[in-house]
A and B are shown apart, each in its own frame.
Chain A
Amino acid sequence: GNSVTQMEGPVTLSEEAFLTINCTYTATGYPSLFWYVQYPGEGLQLLLKATKADDKGSNKGFEATYRKETTSFHLEKGSVQVSDSAVYFCALAVTNAGGTSYGKLTFGQGTILTVHP
């Protein structure tokens, strides 16, 4: 079956520190990979995604590269801000050979990030 494993949190950093949140996956088929962010009191928002091997997703200074050889999709940011404090979820969706998604997302357990001034 499909599964996503994230590094356990919580992660606490000082502002401007470098962030890495590890994510590895197992999947059948051709997975697309995602990072979602959940700010306090809000719903999940798509942060970035990558649909094939070696793709790099990026948004708001965050980056993640789809590494098929290591089945990983680690999230990185060079300089975090207090406003980045949130819960981050790695997820995958399996697509068919034509790239059409079946729609079902499999989530990792989430990583709580707290950034202090």
Chain B
Amino acid sequence: GAVVSQHPSWVICKSGTSVKIECRSLDFQATTMFWYRQFPKQSLMLMATSNEGSKATYEQGVEKDKFLINHASLTLSTLTVTSAHPEDSSFYICSARDLTSFTETQYFGPGTRLLVL
């Protein structure tokens, strides 16, 4: 099946620094990738929809200047948490839709756990 990778899987950073998380579709092209945030024992909350070659679409309440998304190619999207603070600590998950598929199937990455000290 289709594989989506995320890097890094774990990151600890100091408050005020920026952290970049990569999401890659390994064996398919993805015009659309999604970024989610998952709090402990809670559901996934969609943060933004990332479209290759265009600006990301952010969900209501998500700060676009705080969470910078770049989708420069059909296999890579990045999420940068700028000036991270402890409240940004969370589990970030990306997913990707297969370019050749018109179904709703999304393939999920394994997630990146961010801890801001």
Q: Which residues of A contact B (CB under 8 A)?
A: 32, 34, 36, 41-46, 49, 51, 89, 93, 95, 100-101, 103-110, 112
Contact = CB atoms under 8 A, between A and B. Distances in A.
Query: What DSSP secondary structure best describes chain A's contact surface?
Result: strand
Contacts of B41: 110, 112
Nearest to A102: B104
B44 A43 contact: no
B42 A110 contact: yes
B29 interface: no
User: What's the interface size class on B, roughly?
Assistant: 20 to 34
A58 to B, nearest CB: 16
B28 to A, nearest CB: 15
A43 B104 contact: no
Interface string B1-13: 0001010000000
B105 A46 contact: yes
B34 A43 contact: no
A42 B6 CA distance: 11
Contacts of B4: 43
B110 A42 contact: yes
Contacts of A104: 34, 46, 49
Contacts of B109: 43
Given A43-B93, A105-B44, A112-B41, 7 more contacts: A43-B4, A43-B109, A43-B110, A49-B104, A95-B104, A104-B49, A108-B43
Contact of B34 (A32, A41, A46, A103): A103
Contacts of A49: 104-105
B37 to A, nearest CB: 11
A110 B104 contact: no
